[in-house]
Structure 1
């Protein structure tokens, strides 16, 4: 039996009918969900979110944006103040956590230090009164899946951080949950190990096809692992889409600044022509950009990625701004050059390591209009969240 077969949900025809029903309405659904802890301010406001069966969805956002509160409501650790949460078409917002058939992986692993690795993984099966023979077989398969079978008799304190996190993952999957929730599970690991575990978790997700809802504040982690990402801000979803959508077509200044690295130029929209607008920059200079919700005469922020900018000795068409090289940062496979514009603003430009521009050299910074996006400035970098219902 393969690992995917060993951990696949069972149930025959009834499960197939359930799968068809949940596919039609969403495997997980938040409908007008709100959460307030004091009755006045809201940690989550009018949350409407659908998660497909088998999807890897990441909730991404800064501290206090509502992502962890959303996960806790789905897990059953918090109850929504308003609205309904359904799992496979059934309301779960009033069910205790142990009745939801959800696996959970935490940042601090939450392993029992007095138990062996095998006993930790077996624990969810024991409390569900699975037979001892079945427990042994399923624990062995789970440890094989995370490549820790040989460490079954060790205590968690005898393992590295990455090994402990893999034990936590095996424990979350061993009882064949319908949904796995992960709350910043890699936050305690160093960079190299974190990147390795990102790939391991994604491989397991692909192999098993289990539905995963993952919380992180790490943008690169979200872009690497997810089918879709929900970017949270101020208690709501600022944008929901694929990693490619969020990186290349952000819909607000907040998303543009939070996902990846961006340069931001401030100015006033001189005119709008079709999908593009012409912007007079503060302190001098002009630029043409894609218009995203801006109008003539309004102040705006123009966002452009460092890798979309180029440097040359002279203007070469498109958007061209005179600048002076103000710094060089060597990063192995590329250079980050700091270019100071006439208005004293610094832009970061990503170029190849062979670039020869020296500090103090006069250059032209240029970019294509379609690589620039102009957003309303009234939203600021905090971002305007699309209205999700009544405001509080």
Structure 2
């Protein structure tokens, strides 16, 4: 049996279990040897690029797809052959999927009606659901009379009205503009904390995943490259792919000169030598990719004796309000991005000395295969 993807750091029983799950579409391996536990009440996000397997995994949990191999358990019961309507799962989609001819209240009531809930109970439960998403005053309107954000709230109320044990969300904020999307992220997280329901969320937006999640599972080519809390993934990426996919990252190619315990010396193409923390199987003579976050690179005035030091040339400065992004070109032509004060003045072509801590620079094996890991 393959090693399990990272356990949640929260207390609580396993609520969802994927056990050696595989999904094939003909000869295409969409999901490979997936072993994953989801804790009751947590907000877990599946994050990854298109085609990485995150939506396929969500659809198998929902019952829209059946695993080619393996088992899925929900609250201890195998569900991989159970139809979706028997799983007591709420779904929220990017396109809202509201009935345009029905009122907001009727849209929210629909899941109760098809479950033959007594009419005397439907009205009060619809009101409570709409109050949760702050839309009770719009209950008589049609979906087309609402904004995109309001329609998404209706879809959320409809998913919650029958009190499901699990809510699945597939890119639910993807159709909203940036400001509204950020506002809805906060509202969804607050709602999750208030209700305590288990949420599995799919997105390709890494900022969204970091903002909302208790844990994030990063998918790459059908497997989980790494799973953990947002700060763990950002500060301790397990692979070069994770380092590049979560947050901003400077990637430099080099060759290992020597390895000394928790440090390795790496030679860049122009002969410049830097010291880094090796992550994974790193050995002398092997190609590696260095990863350094923009905020971890400092200017000369902030240098320490034990820092890596490089000389570069200013290649551009981009204003971002609370900071500027400085583009600095190394002698080998590679460009580093760092963040500097908004009032700093750096002319194009000017020389600049940069530094970064050894502990903030990671060396990953170049082209290493991804595996499910903690």
Q: What is the rounded CA distance, in whole Å, between the counterparts of 1:53 and 1:119 in structure 2?
A: 30
Tell me the distance in 2 between the aligned counterparts of 1:168 and 1:378.
42
- In 2, Cα distance between equivalents of 1:56 and 1:89: 19
User: Number of paired residues?
Assistant: 361
State the match for 1:95 in structure 2. 82
How far is 1:183 from its partner? 0.2
Question: Could you tell me which of 254, 258, 262 is aligned with 2:249?
Answer: 262
Asked if 1:230 corresponds to 2:217, the answer is yes
CA offset digits 1:114-165 (Å, max 9, x no partner):
1100000001111111111211001000000100001000000000000000
Specify the alignment match of 2:22 in structure 1: 34
Q: 2:230: which partner in 1?
A: 243
1:346 and 2:331 matched: no
1:96-115 counterparts in 2 under 5 A? 96-115=83-102
Asked whether 1:168 is paired with 2:155, we answer yes
Distance in 2 between the 1:326 and 1:127 partners?
Answer: 62
Aligned equivalents of 1:163 and 1:352: distance in 2? 38
Q: Which stretches of structure 1, 4 residues or longer, exceed 6 Å deviation after superposition?
A: none
1:138-149 matches, cutoff 5 A: 138-149=125-136
Whether the aligned pair in 2 keeps the contact of 1:325 and 1:339 (CA below 8 Å) is yes
Q: Which moved more, 1:62-71 or 1:263-272?
A: 263-272
1:377 pairs with 344, 366, 372, which one?
366
Per-residue deviation at 1:277? 0.8
Do structure 1's residue 386 and structure 2's residue 371 form an aligned pair?
A: yes
Report deviation, 1:276. Answer: 1.1
Task: State the superposition RMSD in angstroms.
Answer: 1.3
- 1:125-204 to 2 correspondences below 5 Å: 125-204=112-191
Q: Which residue of 2 aligns with 1:7?
A: none
Q: 1:321 to 1:314 in 2, by over 3 A?
A: farther
**TM-score calculated relative to the size of structure 1:** 0.90
The answer to which of 292-301 and 191-200 deviates more is 292-301
How far apart in 2 are the matches of 1:313 and 1:182? 47
Q: Report what 1:366 is aligned to.
A: 355
Q: Provide structure 1 residue ranges, at least 5 long, that are not aligned to the other structure.
A: 1-21
So what's the TM-score if we normalise by structure 2?
0.94
| 2:299 counterpart SS class | strand
Instruction: Give the number of the structure whose residues are more often helix, by fraction.
Output: 1
Q: Which runs of 5+ in 2 are unaligned?
A: 1-10
Change (3 A) 1:105 1:387: closer
Question: How big is the shift at 1:284?
Answer: 2.4
CA contact 1:30–1:50 (8 Å) conserved in 2: yes
- CA-to-partner distance for each residue in 1:331-386, whole Å, 9 max, x for gaps? 0000000001111111101112122222221111110000000000133xxxx311
Residue pairs, 1:74-89, within 5 angstroms: 74-89=61-76
How far apart are the structure 1 equivalents of 2:192 and 2:185?
11
Are 1:146 and 1:166, in contact at CA under 8 Å, matched by a contact in 2?
yes
CA distance in 2: counterparts of 1:98 and 1:262, whole angstroms: 43
**3-state SS of the aligned residue for 2:100?**
coil
How far 1:316 moved relative to its partner? 4.8
